[in-house]
């Protein structure tokens, strides 16, 4: 062990001898701007790089020094400096002067719609709005169709509920945030994915492993942050209309307006309905629930010289009618599913800036009210949630920008009531907390060390330490590692409400205890050149170990759903490899393979979780015509077999077959208009019997929760997008 540590230290010291970083800006007669894509070259070594989106760069220095470092950007005078061995820790700030005889210059560049952020210490995948347009992307649950890291699964065959999975773990272990404000928690965990339209989203950041302590204590398997379109950057008017063959219609309207130099506002409206009474597998049950959804958001943004602020209100109503095709809301005959959700929340942010650079203070506020009720046949459920959240954050530097600190405190107040059949789970929570985080940014090594302490009024003190590190082996190779602790209080009723779609009796846990887990892992990302074009390959592995977990055991007694606190080992191992290449100028290909080993003690044995494929393969091909008028996208995923719950005691293990899922879309771009047409589930694969004993829905063997594959067959859809862009502001 000592030998390994010694070798690692020697490698670190050796590679640290050859790194220089900096910022490149441009100066013209009226302003200073960051130069993106500026070319930096070492003359004698004949190596170089380009500045990233924030104008920064990092470059490996050769052993033979001194050398001349040249900076070039179209429309600006080039500049150069001499670098020596003593410059290995230097951080440069380069200012290029504009060439006065140049007119307006347009630089046509291509930005990847998906990739791993090179600048961030954590392993963060970024999905842009361009990536979201590769699919119909009508709501958040459909925003991950072209992504291999996040899986979206149907929870039952009658309600249409969907949940995400990261690293093989249920979505409740992944912290979802809306612009760094907790989102889709509590009562929204089961059906909330369907209520946020993808057309509202500007980008999605997916963090694997525990996130920063600034974001809270609930990040156990990962963190997903959703960035909405900004009023100053979004379209003046954006309209998206969608129709598919199953009778699903949607309309989304976004509008952004700049009031003056300081104020701007953005409005988002979504309306959708499913009116098709579809039963293509002829089992008497709807393949998709009918219903409607209406969502609205309005946000205001103030940007001053010393202060900025935002305030937004978000509200929606979601109604679903599922079950047998004879069942209607007005005529409840047979087995029916009714789900009604009403939601409203208020979000606000305030930020204050000091005269000292990089010093700021900000506060985030959130108030939320959620009401939900419904039924599965003769089984009913209801819930109400009132939540208040405040997070205050102070940021500063220690000496230089290489050493940053964040200090803050947060508070969560929650009143939640849940009831299903004769079971209930009502709580009042008060959770104040404090956190501190230190970030070091070196020539090659960057790290984030954080810890938070929270006091729960029911469960006492909880301590959550976390460490993240990134090390740049070479100019094209990044290593990342992470370790951290997370915890959450489970809501066993609403988190698993779809399991009411069966005749199985629920057995409640003896008590509600916090779930506690440790996550550690890392990744390597390598850039390469193929056919004179850049590509990337990344491999990541993460392991989540639960100290305590609330498990759902459906193997112990097939006639029951047993909830129990497990103090014995429960693990998740996730291994994923992904390659992204651009063999042609307008052709992008991404391929990935994922292995999941998720085990816990079920029926007294340490075994794989049910309905979770161990293997998944993924390919996405995107092509854009030379005139940029046509876009072609194809995504193919292959899901391996998964273990199924036993139907009767002492039955042998059952497994689902492997199956493909192929989606394709063609988009035609015409000035302000986009027209698109697509096909989902092109192979027309369907689970044959998603509803067990469908002919006797009130009998003892009825079960609509054993869903491991698609329920509907091939789906065709059409749509259009209209965008009235914003005119550039005059200086």
SS (H, E, C) 275-335: CCCCCCCCCCECCCCEEEEEEEEEEEEEECCCEEEEEEEEEEEEEEEEEECCECCCCECCC
For domain 18-97, say whether CATH 2.40.160.40 is its number: no
Rounded distance between C-alpha atoms, residue 453 and residue 432, angstroms: 9
From the list 640, 549, 655, the residue with the least C-alpha distance to 602 is 549
Specify the pLDDT at position 27.
80
In terms of phi and psi (left: phi > 0; alpha: psi -120 to 50; beta: otherwise), the region of 247 is left
Average pLDDT of span 247-258: 96
**pLDDT for res 402:** 86
CB 396 within 8 A of CB 409: no
| pLDDT-based confidence at residue 609 (cuts at 50, 70, 90) | very high
468 touches 445 (CB < 8 A): no
Dihedrals phi, psi of 292, to nearest 5 degrees: -150, 160
pLDDT interval class at 604 (50, 70, 90): confident
The residue with tokens 């015409």 is: 670
Mean pLDDT of the chain: 90
pLDDT value, residue 7: 38
pLDDT tens for 513-523 read 999 999 999 99
Q: pLDDT value at position 103?
A: 43
Q: Please give the pLDDT value at position 107.
A: 45
Closest CA to 43 of 77, 73, 80, 68: 68
Least Cα distance to 200 among 147, 264, 129 occurs for 129
Q: pLDDT exceeding 70 applies to what percent of the chain?
A: 94
Q: How confident is the model at residue 109 (pLDDT cuts 50, 70, 90)?
A: very low
Residue 82's pLDDT band (boundaries 50, 70, 90)?
A: confident
Q: Please name the residues in contact with 61: beta carbons below 8 A apart, sequence gap of 6 or more.
A: 17, 18, 19, 20, 42, 45, 67, 83, 87, 88
- Whether 15 has a pLDDT exceeding 50, the answer reads no
pLDDT at 102 over 70: no
Q: Would you kindly state where each structural domain of the chain is located, as residue ranges?
A: 18-97, 114-724
Check if the beta carbon of residue 220 is closer than 8 Å to that of residue 173.
Answer: yes
The proportion of the chain whose per-residue pLDDT surpasses 90, expressed as a percent, equals 69
Measured distance CA(330)–CA(338) in Å, rounded? 11
> CA of 197: how far to CAs of 257, 546, 559, in Å?
20, 33, 38
CA 214 to chain centre: 17
CA 406 to CA 197: how far, in whole Å? 33
Nearest to 671 by CA among 727, 726, 723: 723
The angle formed by the CA atoms of residues 535, 536 and 541, to the nearest 5 degrees, is: 165
Residue 108 has what pLDDT? 46
Q: Are 186 and 138 in contact (CB under 8 A)?
A: no
**Is pLDDT at 4 greater than 70 in this prediction?**
no
**Do the beta carbons of residue 571 and residue 546 sit within 8 Å?**
yes
Q: Which residues, listed in sequence order, are joined to residue 32 by a DSSP beta bridge?
A: 27
Strand pairing class (290-303; 307-323): antiparallel
Backbone angles phi, psi at 362, to 5 degrees: -140, 155
| pLDDT of 2 higher than 80 | no
Whether 114-724 and 18-97 are alike in CATH topology: the answer is no
Q: From its phi and psi, is residue 186 left (phi > 0), alpha (psi between -120 and 50) or beta?
A: left
Report the pLDDT averaged over residues 44-55: 81
- Comparing 126-140, 416-430, 451-465, the range with the smallest average pLDDT is 126-140
Q: 450-455: long-range contacts (C-beta < 8 A, 24 or more apart)?
A: 450/212, 450/213, 450/214, 450/406, 451/213, 452/213, 452/217, 454/217, 454/410, 455/431
**In this structure, how many other beta carbons lie within 10 angstroms of the beta carbon of residue 291?**
22
Q: Residue 674's Cα: distance from chain center in Å?
A: 26
Distance from C-alpha of 11 to C-alpha of 28, rounded to nearest angstrom: 43
Helix, strand, coil share (%) of the chain residues, nearest 5: 5, 55, 35
Q: pLDDT tens digits, residue range 289-333?
A: 999 999 999 999 999 888 999 999 999 999 999 999 999 988 888
Most confident of 10-14, 25-29, 195-199: 195-199
CA atoms within 13 A on the CB side of 44: 12
Strands 445-456 and 427-441: antiparallel
For residue range 144-159, list pLDDT tens digits in order: 988 999 999 899 999 9
3-state SS of 520-542? EEEEEEEEEEECCEEEEEEEEEE
Phi, psi of 154 (to 5 degrees): -80, 130
Res 101: pLDDT: 45
Q: Which of 27-41, 209-223, 413-427, 489-503 has the lowest mean pLDDT?
A: 27-41
Span 480-486, mean pLDDT?
A: 97
- Residue 728's pLDDT is 55
Query: What pLDDT does 563 receive?
Result: 96
H runs (alpha helix) in 61-114: none
The CA-CA-CA angle for residues 10, 16, 21, to 5°, reads 170
pLDDT value, residue 343: 97
pLDDT of residue 377: 95
Residue 235's alpha-carbon distances to 75, 202, 316, 672, 724, in angstroms, are 29, 11, 23, 11, 6
Tens digit of pLDDT for each residue in 154-184? 999 999 888 999 999 999 999 999 999 999 9
| pLDDT interval class at 533 (50, 70, 90) | confident
pLDDT at residue 1 tops 70: no
The pLDDT of residue 95: 84
Strand 505-507 with 560-566, pairing: parallel
Q: 263-278 burial, b if ≥16 CB within 10 A, otherwise e?
A: bbbbebbbebbbebeb
Looking at domain 114-724, its CATH architecture is Beta Barrel (2.40)
Q: Is 693 left (phi over 0), alpha (psi -120 to 50) or beta?
A: left
Report the predicted TM-score, pTM, of the whole model to 2 decimal places.
0.86
Give the separation between CA 689 and CA 698, rounded to whole angstroms: 17
């Amino acid at each position: 062990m000592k030998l390994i540590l010694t070798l690692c230290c020697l490698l670190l010291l050796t590679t640290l001898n050859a790194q220089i970083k900096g910022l490149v800006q441009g100066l013209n007669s009226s302003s200073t701007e960051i130069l993106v894509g500026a070319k930096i070259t070492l003359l004698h070594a004949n190596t170089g790089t380009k500045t990233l989106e924030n104008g920064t760069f990092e470059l490996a220095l050769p052993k033979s020094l001194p050398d001349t470092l040249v900076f070039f950007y179209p429309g600006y005078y080039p500049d150069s400096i001499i670098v020596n061995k003593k410059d290995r820790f230097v951080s440069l700030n380069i200012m290029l002067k504009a060439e006065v005889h140049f007119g307006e210059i347009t630089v046509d560049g291509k930005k990847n719609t998906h990739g791993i952020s090179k600048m961030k210490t954590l392993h963060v995948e970024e999905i842009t709005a361009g990536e979201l347009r590769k699919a119909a992307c009508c709501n958040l649950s459909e925003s991950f169709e072209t992504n291999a890291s996040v899986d979206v699964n149907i929870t039952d065959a009658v309600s249409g509920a969907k949940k995400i999975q990261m690293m093989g773990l249920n979505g409740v272990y992944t912290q979802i945030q809306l612009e760094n404000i907790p989102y889709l928690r509590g009562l929204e965990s089961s059906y909330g994915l369907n209520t946020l339209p993808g057309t509202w989203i500007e980008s999605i950041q997916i963090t694997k492993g525990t996130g920063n302590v600034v974001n809270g204590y609930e990040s156990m398997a990962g963190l997903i942050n959703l960035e909405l379109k900004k009023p100053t950057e979004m379209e003046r008017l954006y309209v998206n209309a969608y129709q598919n063959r199953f009778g699903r219609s949607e309309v989304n309207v976004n509008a952004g307006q700049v009031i003056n130099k300081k104020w701007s506002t953005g409005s988002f409206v979504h309306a959708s309905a499913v009116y098709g009474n579809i039963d293509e597998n002829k089992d008497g049950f709807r393949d998709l629930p009918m219903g409607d959804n209406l969502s609205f958001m309005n946000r205001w943004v103030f940007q001053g010289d010393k202060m900025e602020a935002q305030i937004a209100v978000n509200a929606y109503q979601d109604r679903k009618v599922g079950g047998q095709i004879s069942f209607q809301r007005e005529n409840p005959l047979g087995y029916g599913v009714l789900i009604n959700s009403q939601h409203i929340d208020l979000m606000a942010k305030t930020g204050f800036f000091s005269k000292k650079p990089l010093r700021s203070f900000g506060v985030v506020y959130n108030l939320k009210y959620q009401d939900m009720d419904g039924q599965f046949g003769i089984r009913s459920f209801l819930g109400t949630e009132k939540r208040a959240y405040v997070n205050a954050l102070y940021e500063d530097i220690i000496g230089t920008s290489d050493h940053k600190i964040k200090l803050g405190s947060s508070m969560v107040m929650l009143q939640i009531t849940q009831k299903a059949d004769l079971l209930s789970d009502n709580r009042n929570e008060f959770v104040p907390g404090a956190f501190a985080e230190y970030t070091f940014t070196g020539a090659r090594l960057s790290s984030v060390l954080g810890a938070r302490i929270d006091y729960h009024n029911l469960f006492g003190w909880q301590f959550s330490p976390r460490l993240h590190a990134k090390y740049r082996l070479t100019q094209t190779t990044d290593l990342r590692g992470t370790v951290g602790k997370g915890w959450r209080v489970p809501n066993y009723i609403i988190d698993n409400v779809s399991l009411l779609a069966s005749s199985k009796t629920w057995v409640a846990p003896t008590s509600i205890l916090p779930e506690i887990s440790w996550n550690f892992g890392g990744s390597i990302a390598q850039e390469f050149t193929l056919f004179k074009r850049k590509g990337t390959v990344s491999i990541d592995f993460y392991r989540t170990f639960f100290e305590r977990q609330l498990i759902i055991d459906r193997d112990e007694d097939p006639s029951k759903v047993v909830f129990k606190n497990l103090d014995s080992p429960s693990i998740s191992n996730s291994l994923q490899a992904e390659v992204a290449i651009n063999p042609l100028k307008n052709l992008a290909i991404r391929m990935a393979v994922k292995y999941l080993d998720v085990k816990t003690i079920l029926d007294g044995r340490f075994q794989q979780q049910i309905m979770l494929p161990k293997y998944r393969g993924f390919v996405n091909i995107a092509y854009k015509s030379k005139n940029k008028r046509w876009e072609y996208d194809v995504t193919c995923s292959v899901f391996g077999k998964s273990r199924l719950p036993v139907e009767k005691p002492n039955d042998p293990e059952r497994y689902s077959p492997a199956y493909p899922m192929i989606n394709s879309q063609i988009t035609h771009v015409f000035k302000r208009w986009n027209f698109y047409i697509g096909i989902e589930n092109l192979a027309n694969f369907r689970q044959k019997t998603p509803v067990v004993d469908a002919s006797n829905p009130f009998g003892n063997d009825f079960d609509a929760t054993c869903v491991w594959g698609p329920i509907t067959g091939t789906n065709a859809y059409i749509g259009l997008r209209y965008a009235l862009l914003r005119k550039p502001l005059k200086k």
